[in-house]
Amino acid sequence: MSDAMIQITNIKKHFYITEGFLFNKRKIAMKAVDDVSLTVQKGEIVGIVGESGSGKTTLARIILGLIKQTDGSVTINGTDMNRIGRNALKKMRRDIAVVFQDPASNLNPRITVEESIMRPMRIYGVPLKEAKIRAREVMEKVKLDACYLESYPHQLSGGQLQRIAVARALAVRPKIMILDEPTSALDISVQAQVLNLLLDLQEEYGLTYLVISHDLNVIRYVSDKIAVMYLGKIVENGPAEEVFLQPKHPYTVGLMAAVPIMNPRLRGTKVPLLGGETGSLIDATPGCRLVSRCIHVTEACRKISPELIEISKGHLTACHLYNEK
């Protein structure tokens, strides 16, 4: 049996927008996620990095079942989420918890921290007494004093709120945590504390994490593997250090060059930064989506969308530069 905890295969998500007036009106598909496949093994931390609008959150929402994909399948712990009944689906959903970016929007401002932490447990049928005990337990796990259980969100700092969001996610005893920009709203020292906490919890509970961030420092710090997204597609995917130190795809090379301090090998060397504008998700060009920004562009790049191919063990990239070899 496979050890895959999350397996997404050929996922597409098109949002339809209307263009034009009256009789010229037409619907255009915006390909927010375009044929993405990704596997996260049990106990692994996979980071998804990519610039704003590349489809990271859309992918997370599909895995969470908050929106339905246009095409493709999501398999969680061996179960195809498209092929199970409503009750089984509800049960499976308990295995996946989520923490979003904005600490304030993670919690309802009108209810106390304790009620916030207990709410998902109560929905899943945990008796009140047990839920109260677990709320205290998870507060301890995220290193917050139980006295904050009586507080309201506006009485707490961003770092405390994000710890509480983690505590609430943990309370339902998930197997998978999806962390969408979990520390982006925090200042750098608090960011480090929350990341270390997340790493400790992952180890203690043997959790599987999918971490989404546009912050390369965060992704490098936490991830075992990294998937790089650009305009709805995964352009590179591989072991974290390898992707950082030997990026292959021109987009990843450009991303890494934008943070030379992090990457000792690039320090002092002049790597061209990515120029040009980000392409469009509506653009129906058949070729690679990076053509307008890539310095290696050839005729093939304009015509054929490159497939992800393995260039070394577990390291894949979708670029014609490597197809020719």
Ligand X SMILES: Nc1ncnc2c1ncn2[C@@H]1O[C@H](COP(=O)(O)OP(=O)(O)OP(=O)(O)O)[C@@H](O)[C@H]1O
> Can you give the binding site for ligand X, defined by CB under 6 A?
15, 30, 32, 50, 52-58, 214, 281
Classify the C-alpha dihedral 232-236-237-242 as positive or negative: negative
CB of 57 to Mg ion, least distance (A): 3
CB of 15 to ligand X, least distance (A): 4
Instruction: Report what 55 binds from Mg ion, ligand X, none; CB cut-off 5-8 Å by kind.
Output: ligand X
Nearer to Mg ion, 176 or 229 (CB): 229
CB of 284 to ligand X, least distance (A): 15
CB of 284 to Mg ion, least distance (A): 24
58 touches Mg ion by CB under 5 A: no
CB of 26 to Mg ion, least distance (A): 28
Instruction: Report what 262 binds from Mg ion, ligand X, none; CB cut-off 5-8 Å by kind.
Output: none
| Burial letters 266-277, b for 16+ CB under 10 A, else e | beeeeeeebeee
Q: Classify strands 233-239 and 4-19 as parallel, antiparallel or unpaired.
A: unpaired
> For the residues of 202-242, what is the DSSP string, one character each?
HHHHT-EEEEEES-HHHHHHH-SEEEEEETTEEEEEEEHHH
Nearer to Mg ion, 144 or 212 (CB): 212
Q: Which stretch binds Mg ion (CB under 5 A): 53-61, 110-118, 282-290, 302-310?
A: 53-61
Token look-up 């997204």 returns 229
CB of 249 to ligand X, least distance (A): 17
Instruction: Report what 214 binds from Mg ion, ligand X, none; CB cut-off 5-8 Å by kind.
Output: ligand X
Nearer to Mg ion, 30 or 297 (CB): 30
CA distance linking residue 119 with residue 112, whole number of Å: 11
CB–CB of 11/37 below 8 Å?
yes
Instruction: Report what 29 binds from ligand X, Mg ion, none; CB cut-off 5-8 Å by kind.
Output: none
CB of 194 to Mg ion, least distance (A): 18
57 touches Mg ion by CB under 5 A: yes
Nearer to ligand X, 43 or 53 (CB): 53
Nearer to Mg ion, 39 or 57 (CB): 57
CB–CB of 148/68 below 8 Å?
no
Nearer to ligand X, 52 or 87 (CB): 52
DSSP letter at 289 equals T
- Count residues contacting Mg ion (CB under 5 A)? 1
CB–CB of 296/223 below 8 Å?
no
CB–CB of 301/293 below 8 Å?
no
Nearer to ligand X, 139 or 228 (CB): 228
Q: What share of the chain is helix, strand, coil (3-state, %, to 5)?
A: 40, 25, 40
54 touches Mg ion by CB under 5 A: no
Classify the C-alpha dihedral 240-241-242-244 as positive or negative: positive
SS3 state at 255: helix
Residues that bind Mg ion (CB under 5 A): 57
